[in-house]
Structure 1
Amino acid sequence: MASGISNIAGAASSTASTSSKAIAGNFQQFLTLLTTQLKNQNPLDPMDTNQFTQQLVQFAGVEQQLKTNDRLDSILTNSKASASATASSFIGKTVTADGTKTTLSDGKASWTLTPARAATKALITISDSDGNVVATKSTTLAAGSQSFAWDGRGSSGLTQKDGTYAIKVDALDATGSTVAVDTSVTGTVTSVDLSGSEPVLAVGTAKLLLSTVKNLAAAGA
């Protein structure tokens, strides 16, 4: 009789791998069958109590895990729907997001630089979408947030074509110690990509993850 219960539990485990709803739905049927077997077991060869208890606990554990997974799926679905709705509302608004890449348009591109402390020497390097360095500039940086504007002119003096460009800042303080510099970009959101696990905002040709946005304002504000 004990082997009969094992076969049922084994069949249930197999079903779990293919259909969680089927196992959850058959849980009551399993208990009914198990109760019937207990009522009709051979008095001379009764079911082992410990084995019966272990099998029952295992099956109940499987069912509980399935229900937990269903709840988590529901939470994730609702969370993604909420994030998508929030991201869609950003279209037409100006956002500031963490990142190094921004868009050069009509000879204008800008980043917000925030050094950890004042830097007496800072080398700013700007690269195109292929990673080629197109411009460099040596400057100083005051403590706190500040804007860095680029007119699109490369080191050769030629104006670069519109597109996505990345900035890199290597800074040193008065003692020669390295200064960390956070970079962020600002622009107007033109569209939102909801196909991935996280919404992606299009700002010109730059792509920004929703989670990197740290400031939102009405267009032109």
Structure 2
Amino acid sequence: MASGISSIANTASSASTASTSSQAIAGNFQQFLTLLTTQLKNQNPLDPMDTNQFTQQLVQFAGVEQQLKTNDRLDSILTNAKASASATASSFIGKTVTADGTKTTLSDGKANWTLTPARAATKALVTISDANGNVVATKSTTLTAGANAFTWDGKGSSGMTQAAGTYSIKVDALDATGSTVAVDTSVTGTVQSVDLSGSEPVLSVGSSKLLLSTVKNLAAAST
């Protein structure tokens, strides 16, 4: 009989949806009480059942019930949070965003990044690669402390203008003492559409895809 009570608790813990879980809890709890009452009525007076066992089973069932209710509440919170994020992301369409990332789009002969070194860099080698990972251009520059706008004119090392598309940037920087300087890279562009099919909204900026969580700055699109 004790194994029967335990199986009822296990059945409750396997409920897969909020509504099904609630119905299962109510039904299983009634079955639990029925079994408990039946056991008490039919126990051997000379060998009564251990009350500690009853208490343990009741605590186990109560724990399962509480866990299912907690899961229901978490599901509700996650649903509301996703709906809020989707609404926020949709409002970004047509606006200019700046987001963490190394990739941006070469369009109209320009590709823009923002480079932010941990401190001023007296030497910085900027390497630009195409979508296939092939290096198409390298540039030497200096970086001041804070955000630095970097614009590539689309010309490769050979002087030929590269085709429009997605390009990535890598920066190797040194300070005045020759120590390596970490450089954060970000991209700026106008949001054209939003993909809401995943766990987090994805913004389409040119041919680049940016997660909503990587956005650092939002501004009205320039006219």
Mapped partners of 1:179, 1:32: distance in 2: 68
Q: How far apart are residue 208 of structure 1 and its match?
A: 0.5
Per the normalisation by structure 1, the TM-score is 0.93
Letter in 2 for 1:176: G
CA contact (8 A) 1:16 1:22 kept: no
Partner of 2:112: 110
CA contact (8 A) 2:12 2:25 kept: no
SS in 2 for 1:159: coil
> In the alignment, does 2:26 pair up with 1:29?
no
Mapped partners of 2:37, 2:53: distance in 1: 17
> RMSD of aligned C-alpha atoms?
1.6
SS in 2 for 1:111: strand
Q: Residues 85-144 of structure 1, C-alpha deviation per residue, up to 9 Å, x if partnerless?
A: 000000000001111111111111100111111111100000111111111011111111
Letter in 1 for 2:202: V
Out of 167, 170, 181, the residue aligned to residue 165 of structure 1 is: 167
- Sequence identity (%): 77
CA contact (8 A) 1:27 1:63 kept: no
Out of 6, 23, 26, the residue aligned to residue 9 of structure 1 is: 6
Q: How far apart are residue 38 of structure 1 and its match?
A: 4.9
Mapped partners of 1:214, 1:157: distance in 2: 34
Q: Residues 30-59 of structure 1, C-alpha deviation per residue, up to 9 Å, x if partnerless?
A: 343145225513323322111111111111
* Aligned residue pair count: 218
Letter in 1 for 2:4: N
Per the normalisation by structure 2, the TM-score is 0.92
Letter in 1 for 2:27: N
SS in 2 for 1:40: helix
Q: How far apart are residue 176 of structure 1 and its match?
A: 0.3
Partner of 2:47: 45
| Runs of 4+ off more than 3 Å | 18-23
SS in 1 for 2:216: strand
Partner of 2:176: 174
Q: Select between 68-77 and 32-41 the one with higher mean Cα deviation.
A: 32-41
> Gaps (5+ residues) in structure 2?
none
Letter in 2 for 1:179: V
Out of 213, 216, 223, the residue aligned to residue 214 of structure 1 is: 216
Mapped partners of 2:24, 2:5: distance in 1: 12
Mapped partners of 2:128, 2:188: distance in 1: 16
CA contact (8 A) 2:192 2:205 kept: yes
Mapped partners of 2:41, 2:2: distance in 1: 13
CA contact (8 A) 2:9 2:64 kept: no
Mapped partners of 2:11, 2:36: distance in 1: 22
CA contact (8 A) 1:16 1:23 kept: no
SS in 1 for 2:14: helix
Letter in 2 for 1:196: G
Mapped partners of 2:210, 2:128: distance in 1: 18
Give the 5 Å matches for 1:1-221: 4-19=1-16, 20-42=21-43, 43-220=45-222
> Gaps (5+ residues) in structure 1?
none
Letter in 2 for 1:78: N
| Structure 1 residues 171 and 121: alpha-carbon distance in aligned structure 2, compared to 1, 3 A threshold | same
